[in-house]
């Protein structure tokens, strides 16, 4: 048996997927724990914002969310961000914002300084 043999466990697969996602992301994500609300055509659901960038957010709900993909994320300290759910897993989901990243950076930049640096670096490129 080779020393290179490596077991493919669910944990190692998940870690590899997360690393790949981080490399694909255009904007830096910041870990946060903020109260939020998902608003959609059929109603609303409370959520916790787990991470955020100027391009989107990862949120978690108490129960599995089964509403439409077109959604608004309301964060009391920052306002409403229109967007679309781009992935779902159990009671967590990723939301891509429809707003211009520079506008989002202006709104959340004071609370998440890395977002303004990301926007500046991206606009310089």
**Mind listing the pLDDT tens digit for each residue in 38-80?**
999 989 999 999 999 999 999 999 999 988 999 999 999 999 9
Question: Residue 89: beta bridge partners?
Answer: 92
Domain positions in the chain are 29-124
* pTM listed for this prediction: 0.71
- Which residue matches tokens 């950076």? 105
Architecture of domain 29-124: Beta Barrel (2.40)
CA 18 to CA 30: how far, in whole Å? 15
What would the 3-class secondary structure string for 27-87 be? CCCEEEEEEEEEEECCEEEEEEEEEECCCEEEEECCCCCCCCCEEEEEECCCEEEEEEEEE
* CB distance 97 to 56 below 8 Å: yes
pLDDT band at 118 (very low <50, low <70, confident <90, very high): very low
Helix (H, G, I), strand (E, B) or coil at 3: coil
Q: Is the pLDDT of residue 36 over 60?
A: yes
């Amino acid at each position: 048996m080779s020393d290179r043999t490596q077991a493919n466990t669910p944990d190692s697969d998940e870690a590899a997927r997360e690393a790949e996602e981080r490399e694909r992301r255009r904007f830096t994500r910041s870990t946060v724990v903020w109260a939020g609300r998902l608003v959609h055509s059929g109603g609303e659901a409370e959520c916790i914002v787990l991470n955020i960038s100027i391009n989107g957010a990862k949120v978690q709900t108490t129960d599995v969310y089964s509403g439409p993909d077109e959604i608004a994320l309301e964060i009391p300290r920052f306002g409403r961000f229109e967007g679309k759910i781009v992935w779902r897993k159990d009671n967590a989901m990723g939301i891509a914002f429809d707003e211009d990243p520079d506008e989002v950076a202006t709104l959340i930049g004071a609370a998440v300084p890395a977002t303004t640096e990301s926007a500046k670096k991206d606009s310089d490129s």
